[in-house]
Chain A
Amino acid sequence: MIDAFLNAITPFNIGLALLGVFLGTIIGALPGLSATMAVAVLVPFTFSMEPASGLIALGAVYTGAIYGGAYAAILVNTPGTPAAIATALDGYPMAKRGDGDLAVTISCFASAFGGLVGAVALLVLAPPLAIIALKFGPVEYFWLAIFGLSLIAVLSKGATVKGLIGGAVGLGLSTIGSAVIGGDVRYTFGTPQLLGGIHIIPALIGLYCVPVLLNMVSTKEAHIERANTKNSSRIGEALTSIWNSKFNLVRSSVIGTVIGILPAAGGAVAGLVAYSEARRSSKHKEEFGKGAVDGVIASESANSATVGGGFVPTLVLGIPGTPPDAIILGALMVQGIRVGPRLFTEQADIVYTFIFGLIIATLLMIPVGLIIGKTAFKTISSIPKSVLVPAIGVLIMIGSFAVEQNSTHVIMMVLLGLFAWLALHFGFEPSPIVLGLILGPIAEQGFVQGYLIGNASGNLMGEFFGRPISIAIIGFTLLTLLWPIWSERKSKKLKEDQIHE
């Protein structure tokens, strides 16, 4: 272990980690360019490096990119990576009232903390934690997706019916294309371009970024308030806020780590679940969605924790925990590293060097993030909208195309964007639609697989309702759905009692 630590802190590896975090943060910060893309671009360069160094570079870029996604979400309200969806919910309102610098700084510290929790879990608990990934069968994914959909209640900001309609639209959109299970071709209207379905990244860019851009063009007011203090990092203030929210920080980091371990879930789900838990346990629920510091802390610490969490199944079982992990796994194969349970014993030097590298990269993220964050805030709050809008417009086009080198995605992004803009005018928020789009396929596949397996074993009800983890998730879902009703009743009753007295 000590050897691995010394290996990780060679000047070359530290230099790589620094460069990786820097590049990753920049790529993640650009709306439309995601962590997956950042990792994919870097992979070929790592083939000429030592396995551990290559891995450190990839891990650092990945960490940086997940964090970088917060800038666009906070400062422009355009979560370019799915992981940053929940960050925008409160980050942008903060920026709008002039606290953009504070939000960026808080997200930097929260991300670093979450990243460390994930990486330390990977370091000390990887093999036992990997079991969680295996306990999740198709049925558990189905219930997890249903639980995720219950978060619409949280995301729809009071307009529950509109939120539900939006969620249904998202679910509908997710069925377009050739079904993974069943192979049916749905709603393609005979066009081969639609066979691949609606890709989540261009859809996300369209649904979130395009309405923001159109609104920026159609209103006169400044996009966000400029810095109102001279010291535009507000580090002390940020640290105080985080200290006051320490339980939220730890809880969100743990949620992020565990959800990161589940393949097929990912940063977006982690951020949203942590956000909704933070909101539920908060004493100031009404502040959420209007610039609550706790919301930013929850989302950012959780999505950064998925990095370390995601590496647990990737390294222990050879199962990629998140999309960027799939690419890193491919790179490992090319390097001749056999992932699997024996990796931690047979090639322990490489694995532990990598994990220490990841921890170092996470720590380096604090200075790098603060410097880039300060610059980003100053730049975005001072450049005129006439420059900002076309620049982001070009970036989101490139981003949509680059996902799969496919021009259909650009068209899809623009169309969905226009749709979202119109919908927003009628009070339909994009978040429930996105949630439906992300969770639809998980729910569908889990349900059909669970149904087939249940039928094969002759115990369909047991398959869906008899498994311990399923029961726990169903319980959480009911709690999320019924808690608001119950607490409202209670407060009403309390009031009535007071009146009667």
Chain B
Amino acid sequence: MNLNRRLFAKILASASLLFASTLVPFAAQAADYPERDVTYVIPYNPGGESDVTARMQQKFFKELTGHNLIILNKPGAGGATAWAQLNGFKADGYTIMGTIVPHIILQPAMKEVGYQTEDITNVFFFHYTPDAIIVNAESEFKTLQDLVDFASANPGAVTMGGSGTNTANHLAAEIVSGLTSTVTTYIPFKGSAPAITALLGNQIKSVMSYTTQGVKAGDQVRSLAVATEKRHPALPDVPTFRELGINHVGGAYRGVAVPKGTPEDIQLELAKILAEINANPEFQKLMLEAGYSVIDVSHEQIPTFMGQKAKTYAGAIKQLKAKQ
């Protein structure tokens, strides 16, 4: 009995010690960050592009830090469910979350989604999935010019599928139709995959989607233009919008955010790790082959980056709102 009591006291003591040690301020510990596994919340389903690219980072994170990057899928409301919860997590650098521009700019601008763009503390953007206009391989539109000509002659007759209403695809379709002064009929689908399915089945004439979808669908489709600065290595024969005289570079920019109040040095350390993963040739190869474009938007550049993007989207957001 006595022994039991002593054992109990011992356990209690060590337990409280353990508890105390977790309370020691984690600030100013960035040199050691991360000391344990990091939970990486992805606001989309497994198998989506956010999830797939996060899983590509996973392996390299482990190599660099010796700790696991544990992916937790928390989908819902096009990502808004997770983003609205971001600042509720502990701000210690051990819970991080995937973010996407334009989604985090567009969603709060269009409706009440439980968060504002400023609530998201972005640390680093590591790639973007460039916009691409894609048609069926059998389509009469051989070039983007063919499509634009037809759309100019027959306003509204060109159907352009995309993922959802008031989404990145919708925004891009709006931007391009503004730049080319054409009117197309945007057909929203529940995600990129159903839109591509409808394209393959000749249900719609074109889609505003991503380079990744053009790569995935292979010979069944023809990508007419991609929104990169230079041609994408996975689609070397496809011109950029700029080559065709349409000044559009953009897509879905994916990054990593932390809960508000996460110590600055931990944010910097995290950004450094993510930049090192980006610099790994093996990682770059994986990403490029699948159709992504690796970019580094470092911690310091983020305010400028977000400002620029907000400005780029402002006109199209206004048009979308007017249509509501």
Give bound CA distance, A405 to B156, whole Å.
42
Q: Kindly list chain A residues whose C-beta atoms are within 8 Å of the C-beta of B203.
A: 137-138, 453
Query: Contact between B185 and A317 (Cβ–Cβ < 8 Å)?
Result: no
Q: Which of A133, A318, A456 has the most CB of B within 10 A?
A: A456
Query: Contact between B216 and A452 (Cβ–Cβ < 8 Å)?
Result: no
Nearest-neighbour CB distance to chain B for A486, whole angstroms, equals 35
Q: Which of A177, A329, A330, A340 contacts B77 (CB 8 A)?
A: A177
Whether a CB of chain B sits under 8 angstroms from the CB of A333 is yes
B140-170 residues with Cβ-Cβ distance < 8 A to A are 156-159, 164-166
CB-nearest residue of chain B to A141: B194
Give bound CA distance, A331 to B52, whole Å.
8
CB-nearest residue of chain B to A320: B193
Query: Contact between B81 and A317 (Cβ–Cβ < 8 Å)?
Result: no
A305-344 residues with Cβ-Cβ distance < 8 A to B are 313, 317-320, 326-331, 333-334, 336, 338-342
Whether a CB of chain B sits under 8 angstroms from the CB of A183 is yes
Stretch of B27-35, B108-116, B173-181, B309-317 on the interface side? B108-116
Q: Using known A-B contacts A452-B185, A453-B204, determine if residue A134 contacts B165 with beta carbons closer than 8 Å.
A: no
Stretch of B40-48, B248-256, B266-274 on the interface side? B40-48
Chain B, 38-77, contact with A by CB distance < 8 Å: what is the 0/1 string? 0000000111100110011001000000000001111111
Whether a CB of chain A sits under 8 angstroms from the CB of B198 is yes
Whether a CB of chain B sits under 8 angstroms from the CB of A5 is no
Q: Using known A-B contacts A192-B113, A340-B218, determine if residue A264 contacts B194 with beta carbons closer than 8 Å.
A: yes
Whether a CB of chain B sits under 8 angstroms from the CB of A43 is yes
Q: Which of A181, A319, A334 contacts B52 (CB 8 A)?
A: A334
Query: Contact between A181 and B188 (Cβ–Cβ < 8 Å)?
Result: yes
Q: Using known A-B contacts A183-B164, A192-B112, determine if residue A178 contacts B78 with beta carbons closer than 8 Å.
A: yes
Whether a CB of chain A sits under 8 angstroms from the CB of B301 is no
Query: Contact between B190 and A180 (Cβ–Cβ < 8 Å)?
Result: yes
Nearest-neighbour CB distance to chain A for B177, whole angstroms, equals 14
Query: Contact between B73 and A405 (Cβ–Cβ < 8 Å)?
Result: yes
Query: Contact between A404 and B81 (Cβ–Cβ < 8 Å)?
Result: yes
Q: Which of A183, A195, A327 contacts B114 (CB 8 A)?
A: A195
Determine the interface band of chain A, counting residues with CB < 8 A from chain B.
35 or more
Whether a CB of chain B sits under 8 angstroms from the CB of A457 is yes
Query: Contact between B159 and A452 (Cβ–Cβ < 8 Å)?
Result: yes
Q: Using known A-B contacts A47-B55, A180-B190, A185-B111, determine if residue A339 contacts B157 with beta carbons closer than 8 Å.
A: no
Whether a CB of chain A sits under 8 angstroms from the CB of B286 is yes
Query: Contact between B194 and A456 (Cβ–Cβ < 8 Å)?
Result: no
Nearest-neighbour CB distance to chain B for A136, whole angstroms, equals 7
Whether a CB of chain B sits under 8 angstroms from the CB of A495 is no
CB-nearest residue of chain A to B218: A340
Q: Which of A44, A135, A328, A342 contacts B201 (CB 8 A)?
A: A135
Q: Which of A192, A326, A441, A457 contacts B157 (CB 8 A)?
A: A457
Query: Contact between A136 and B189 (Cβ–Cβ < 8 Å)?
Result: no
Nearest-neighbour CB distance to chain B for A437, whole angstroms, equals 15
B179-237 residues with Cβ-Cβ distance < 8 A to A are 185, 187-190, 193-194, 196-198, 200-204, 215-220
Query: Contact between B201 and A134 (Cβ–Cβ < 8 Å)?
Result: yes
Query: Contact between A318 and B81 (Cβ–Cβ < 8 Å)?
Result: no
Query: Contact between B220 and A341 (Cβ–Cβ < 8 Å)?
Result: yes
A402-434 residues with Cβ-Cβ distance < 8 A to B are 404-406
Nearest-neighbour CB distance to chain B for A454, whole angstroms, equals 10
Whether a CB of chain A sits under 8 angstroms from the CB of B172 is no
Whether a CB of chain A sits under 8 angstroms from the CB of B120 is no
Whether a CB of chain B sits under 8 angstroms from the CB of A179 is yes
CB-nearest residue of chain B to A48: B59
Q: Using known A-B contacts A404-B81, A452-B159, determine if residue A330 contacts B218 with beta carbons closer than 8 Å.
A: no
Query: Contact between B200 and A196 (Cβ–Cβ < 8 Å)?
Result: no
Give bound CA distance, A339 to B52, whole Å.
15
Whether a CB of chain B sits under 8 angstroms from the CB of A445 is yes
Query: Contact between A179 and B165 (Cβ–Cβ < 8 Å)?
Result: yes
Query: Contact between B47 and A330 (Cβ–Cβ < 8 Å)?
Result: yes
Whether a CB of chain A sits under 8 angstroms from the CB of B80 is yes
Query: Contact between A136 and B110 (Cβ–Cβ < 8 Å)?
Result: no
Q: Kindly list chain B residues whose C-beta atoms are within 8 Å of the C-beta of A330.
A: 46-48, 51-52, 55
Nearest-neighbour CB distance to chain A for B195, whole angstroms, equals 10
Query: Contact between A338 and B78 (Cβ–Cβ < 8 Å)?
Result: no
Query: Contact between A319 and B196 (Cβ–Cβ < 8 Å)?
Result: yes
Give bound CA distance, A342 to B215, whole Å.
13
Q: Kindly list chain B residues whose C-beta atoms are within 8 Å of the C-beta of A449.
A: 187-189, 198
Query: Contact between A338 and B216 (Cβ–Cβ < 8 Å)?
Result: yes
Query: Contact between A326 and B74 (Cβ–Cβ < 8 Å)?
Result: no
Whether a CB of chain A sits under 8 angstroms from the CB of B21 is no
Q: Which of A182, A185, A334, A341 contacts B219 (CB 8 A)?
A: A341
Whether a CB of chain B sits under 8 angstroms from the CB of A366 is no
Q: Which of B56, B157, B165, B189 contacts A183 (CB 8 A)?
A: B165
Query: Contact between A183 and B110 (Cβ–Cβ < 8 Å)?
Result: yes
Whether a CB of chain B sits under 8 angstroms from the CB of A128 is no
Q: Which of A40, A138, A445, A457 has the most CB of B within 10 A?
A: A138
Whether a CB of chain B sits under 8 angstroms from the CB of A455 is yes
Q: Kindly list chain A residues whose C-beta atoms are within 8 Å of the C-beta of B290.
A: 333
Q: Using known A-B contacts A263-B194, A334-B55, determine if residue A456 contacts B157 with beta carbons closer than 8 Å.
A: yes
Q: Using known A-B contacts A137-B198, A330-B51, determine if residue A183 contacts B73 with beta carbons closer than 8 Å.
A: no
Query: Contact between B216 and A318 (Cβ–Cβ < 8 Å)?
Result: yes
Whether a CB of chain B sits under 8 angstroms from the CB of A190 is yes
Chain A, 436-456, contact with B by CB distance < 8 Å: what is the 0/1 string? 000001000100010011011
CB-nearest residue of chain B to A332: B47
Query: Contact between B324 and A317 (Cβ–Cβ < 8 Å)?
Result: no
A173-194 residues with Cβ-Cβ distance < 8 A to B are 177-183, 185, 190, 192-193
Nearest-neighbour CB distance to chain A for B103, whole angstroms, equals 13
Q: Using known A-B contacts A190-B112, A330-B51, A340-B217, determine if residue A195 contacts B45 with beta carbons closer than 8 Å.
A: no
Whether a CB of chain A sits under 8 angstroms from the CB of B84 is yes
Give bound CA distance, A136 to B75, whole Å.
27
Nearest-neighbour CB distance to chain A for B305, whole angstroms, equals 26
Query: Contact between A327 and B220 (Cβ–Cβ < 8 Å)?
Result: no
Query: Contact between B47 and A320 (Cβ–Cβ < 8 Å)?
Result: yes
Q: Kindly list chain A residues whose C-beta atoms are within 8 Å of the C-beta of B165.
A: 179-183
Question: What 15 additional pairs, Cβ within 8 angstroms, besides A183-B165, A196-B81?
Answer: A40-B46, A134-B202, A135-B201, A180-B164, A180-B165, A192-B112, A197-B77, A263-B193, A317-B217, A318-B193, A319-B193, A334-B52, A334-B55, A339-B216, A445-B190
Residues of B within 8 A of A (CB): 45-48, 51-52, 55-56, 59, 71-78, 80-81, 84, 110-114, 156-159, 164-166, 185, 187-190, 193-194, 196-198, 200-204, 215-220, 286, 289-290, 324
Across the A-B interface, the 3 shortest Cβ-Cβ residue pairs: A330-B47, A192-B114, A134-B201
Q: List 16 A-B contacts (CB under 8 A).
A: A44-B55, A44-B71, A137-B198, A138-B203, A178-B78, A193-B114, A195-B81, A196-B76, A199-B76, A317-B217, A331-B47, A333-B216, A342-B218, A453-B204, A455-B185, A458-B157
Residues of A within 8 A of B (CB): 40, 43-44, 47, 133-138, 177-183, 185, 190, 192-193, 195-197, 199, 263-264, 313, 317-320, 326-331, 333-334, 336, 338-342, 404-406, 441, 445, 449, 452-453, 455-458
